[in-house]
Structure 1
Amino acid sequence: MDFKFCTECGTKVPKHYRVCSNCGKQFANVQDSYEQRQGADASGGTTSPNLHEIKEPIVNNERSKKQASRSKKLTLTIGSILAALLLGGYYLGSTLTSKQKVIQKFDEALKEKDASMLVGIVDTTDPNIKISAENVFPFISYIEENSQNPTFSALEKAGFVNIHPSGKKWLLFDNYKINIKSFYPVISTNYDGTEIYINKKRVGKINRGEGKTFGPYLIGEYKLKALYKGKYATLDKEEVIDPKSINSKEIEVKFTLPENNLSIYSDEDDAFLFVNGKNTNQRIGEIDQFGPVVFDGSITIHAETEINGNVIKSNETTLVDEDFTNVGLIFDYQEDDPAENEVVTAGDVRESSEVVTTEEDLSSLNVEDEVKVIRAEYNSINKVLKNYNVNKLGASFTQYINDNGIIKKIVKKDNGVTTEYYFWDDGSLFFIFTTTAKPLENRYYFKNNQMIRWIDSDKRTIDINSGKVNQEYREWENFWVNQILSSID
């Protein structure tokens, strides 16, 4: 049997087939070839296939053709569906990762105060920050408190955020994230061993003059606290970092804690300082600055020294007024036998004369300014007290006199319970300070021998401009002025 090959699909088929048994392609001149083959058989040639053998392939080929058509349609349908799915998926993917979608999610997270949602769409350029719900909270908190309608657009204008490409998502789509600005606080203080807290979390210790860097932190509102715990005082101060003030990667924060230090002087530099009855083992002459201390009445200081085998104590001072940081611890002792000296009592002094002061119109006086002048003069006298001539009138009354013979200060003790300090400038009384063992303290300020302010033991302030000047005030004024001016005679 002769064969031929289909020119469409290359299938080997009997030469007399009119169509390809594989793909259904029709062959040319099949009929002519068949008739010629029938004539050859009649003349005694090769036997031809019978009619049934010819028709059977034709039927099969028609069926194959229909099946092929169905297959093509199915393939086209499936291809169209896949193409639609791919196009739809690509569009959906690109939409989900677009700038607009990320900004929309960012605005929604701020509105809902959703830290976990924010974590998935924000980052920072600082590799030392790992984005978490904890470190984005100060950012959310600040936005919540300072913006009625927080949006990406508004925060971008403020310089707090920006949006940028962040790699690929699903290997196909550009991914975007919102960058939050970050910063480093550089903190310094004026006390060694100061503890630093940021948003109530202790982050470390720093020393005086040391600028220490903390962070980094995402931009937001941060409350910083410096805490110093000393032997005689606990000092603290807080500062708030406003994001609007952050103009660079680092922001400097200086904590200047109160300089609650004392300048202590005495007429015995070798005497030891005692605080609340306990020896500090520090000699007065070796102390430059003592502290820090608190002025809440919880600290009382005095000095002790040994003279002729006897331990002598200075006056005691209770710290209640931070305006008076120069403290004199003076020893009131007699080298000679007190019995051999003439003792002048307070009663003797008061009875020596009666002084009547002339009143001036001080209603227009700026009392606050005058008080500042008085305090400055008070400090200047105490600083050079050791240079004055000391005139002791008994064990309880001491005068400090300058080289011109002018009394600058008097210290008077009453039964070891009350101590009174009087100060003069150019012969005029300007300040009286009294303290008792409780302690109860009173402060009296004078101008031209007239009282202009009185701060009593309850820390109530009465001055000539307060509207509280009454008979009680005038009685105190007359009593003290007459008492002290009489003591000079």
Structure 2
Amino acid sequence: MKYCKECGIGIAGDIRYCRNCGAEVSKVDGTNVSIHNPTRTNKRRNKPWSFIVIIFTVMLGVGGYVAYQYGASLTSKEKVAEDFLLALEKKDQESLEKFLFLNGEPIQNQDLDGLLALFESEPQLINQVKDQLMSKDGMFSVHKVGKKYLVFDHYGIEVGTYELVIHTNQPETKVSVDGDERGTIDFGEPLAINVTPGIYTVSGERATEFATVVDEGKVTVTGEGESIETSLDVTGDYIEIDANEAKAKLFANGKDTGYQTGDVILFGPVNLDGSTVVWVEKEFSTGLAKSEMIPIRDHSSILFNIEEPQVSGSLTNETSVRSLYLLPNSATQKLSAADIQGWSSYELRLARNEIFARHGYIFQSADLRSYFSSLSWYVPDPNYDGTLSDIEEYNVDFIQDRE
């Protein structure tokens, strides 16, 4: 029995090549020896390693494909829509901010309270959103916004925008939405702004000489219709004022309003909290007559009564003096609670400063300066240093404690 020197297997007969390893066998000096064929041997030896490489490559490809499909499923349209709806149901504002895009840009640090309030008040809308997410016609839609990890398609939720048109019935109305000022509008000149779905507080403010009128309301934006319209009523409150004498001037908070009695005056807008105090004055040949001062607290009409001052010699009577002073005796007698019972804070302020005005004090406040300048007895004294008598000091403190 002969043996192959390459692989050691027995070789029977006169065989030139080893059937096991392919080595060439020859006879030298009567002894069978193998002649090594490097080309054939290396080729046969490389066969097991080639098989391993092929198997590894196939497994790597299959694993990569499976990994890609898994990663793609985590960022798919369906997964993004599912996670968005879950965050919406849970009212998870932090998660919603990660999903939402406006005009292709991420919504960051935006107040979503209005959006969450909408779905809290109308939870059935979530089913509507679910049906519309894959289209582009609803409040929200799934859009491709780029790539994630440079491999997977990245999807987000695009928020629809709608036009909110705000009207007013008065001029110079300052408009705010959720506390943010959006501009000033006039009657017939509405303001149009773009908003996303949600519940918004729309307010209007109009500042007038004697009152600041405010109106506000809630506006719900659900995507139904191309635009949403709302109106603000900043007319304010008005009252009717008249007097028993024609051509008496109407004053409010120390200012001449420009109105005169004769026909019923519709005065306003005014606050109904007593902060607006009105009276009328008329100059007669015998002197200036002034009505009582009335704070406005409701819509009741006011009829003032004034009488022409009666003159005896060069002195006016007590009625005339009372018409000129709020508290005629505040310089000589200590006041009691009965003297100022039911007075508004504005009347008390005037009465307190009347004590200083008697001495000619020059007021810095425009309303006080206007009020006392209209009184015939008031004579400004630039040298007055503010000194008061004991009784006057007592009365100043007494009134101030009740303002």
Same fold (TM > 0.5): yes
Secondary structure at the counterpart of residue 321 of structure 1: coil
Please list, as runs of the form range in 1=range in 2, the aligned pairs for 1:257-296 lying within 5 A after superposition. Answer: 257-265=234-242, 271-276=248-253, 278-280=254-256, 282-284=258-260, 290-296=267-273
Q: Is the 8 A contact 2:119 2:125 kept in 1?
A: no
1:196-216: CA deviation from partner (whole Å, max 9, x where unpaired): 3322344444344431223x3
2: distance between equivalents of 1:269 and 1:249?
Answer: 56
**1:163 counterpart letter in structure 2:** V
Unaligned runs of 5+ in 2: 1-15, 313-318, 320-325, 328-339, 345-403
Query: Which position in structure 1 is the counterpart of 2:43?
Result: 65
2: distance between equivalents of 1:66 and 1:101?
Answer: 52
Is 1:179 paired with 2:154? Answer: no
1:51-86: CA deviation from partner (whole Å, max 9, x where unpaired): 9xx96551x335412442134223202311221123
**2:297 counterpart letter in structure 1:** V
Query: Which position in structure 2 is the counterpart of 1:188?
Result: 167
Identify which range, 201-210 or 231-240, moves more after superposition.
Answer: 201-210
Q: CA 1:208 to 1:330, structure 2 compared with 1: closer, same or farther past 3 Å?
A: farther
Secondary structure at the counterpart of residue 120 of structure 1: helix
Secondary structure at the counterpart of residue 305 of structure 1: strand
Query: Which position in structure 2 is the counterpart of 1:160?
Result: 139
1: distance between equivalents of 2:125 and 2:260?
Answer: 63
Q: CA deviation at 1:264?
A: 4.4
Please list, as runs of the form range in 1=range in 2, the aligned pairs for 1:408-447 lying within 5 A after superposition. Answer: 438=342
Q: CA 1:279 to 1:185, structure 2 compared with 1: closer, same or farther past 3 Å?
A: same
Larger radius of gyration: 1
Query: Which position in structure 2 is the counterpart of 1:136?
Result: 112
Secondary structure at the counterpart of residue 322 of structure 1: coil
Query: Which position in structure 1 is the counterpart of 2:185?
Result: 206
Q: Is the 8 A contact 1:193 1:207 kept in 2?
A: yes
Please list, as runs of the form range in 1=range in 2, the aligned pairs for 1:240-255 lying within 5 A after superposition. Answer: 240-244=218-222, 246-255=223-232
Is 1:117 paired with 2:92? Answer: no
**TM-score, scaled relative to structure 2:** 0.58
Aligned length: 298
1: distance between equivalents of 2:265 and 2:42?
Answer: 114
Q: CA deviation at 1:255?
A: 0.8
**1:86 counterpart letter in structure 2:** G
Match of 2:201 among 191, 212, 223: 223
Secondary structure at the counterpart of residue 132 of structure 1: coil
**1:304 counterpart letter in structure 2:** E
Q: CA 1:25 to 1:82, structure 2 compared with 1: closer, same or farther past 3 Å?
A: farther
Secondary structure at the counterpart of residue 179 of structure 1: strand
Query: Which position in structure 1 is the counterpart of 2:276?
Result: 299
1:7-32: CA deviation from partner (whole Å, max 9, x where unpaired): xxxxxxxxxxx99xxxx999xxx99x
Q: Is the 8 A contact 1:264 1:328 kept in 2?
A: yes
Q: CA deviation at 1:254?
A: 0.7
Is 1:79 paired with 2:72? Answer: no
Query: Which position in structure 1 is the counterpart of 2:80?
Result: 102
Q: Is the 8 A contact 1:162 1:180 kept in 2?
A: yes
Q: CA deviation at 1:218?
A: 1.7
Computed over aligned residues only, the root mean square deviation of the Cα atoms, in angstroms, reads 4.6
Secondary structure at the counterpart of residue 47 of structure 2: helix
**How much identity, in percent, do the aligned residues show?**
22
**TM-score, scaled relative to structure 1:** 0.49
1:402-444: CA deviation from partner (whole Å, max 9, x where unpaired): xxxxxxxxxxxxxx99xxxxxxxxxxxxxxxxxx98469xxxx
Is 1:322 paired with 2:299? Answer: yes
Query: Which has the higher relative contact order, 1 or 2, with Cα contacts under 8 A spaced 6 or more apart?
Result: 2
Secondary structure at the counterpart of residue 242 of structure 1: strand
1: distance between equivalents of 2:226 and 2:125?
Answer: 27
1: distance between equivalents of 2:124 and 2:162?
Answer: 25
**2:47 counterpart letter in structure 1:** S
2: distance between equivalents of 1:304 and 1:103?
Answer: 73
Unaligned runs of 5+ in 1: 1-17, 36-49, 338-394, 396-415, 418-435, 441-489
2: distance between equivalents of 1:316 and 1:119?
Answer: 58
Q: Is the 8 A contact 1:316 1:329 kept in 2?
A: no
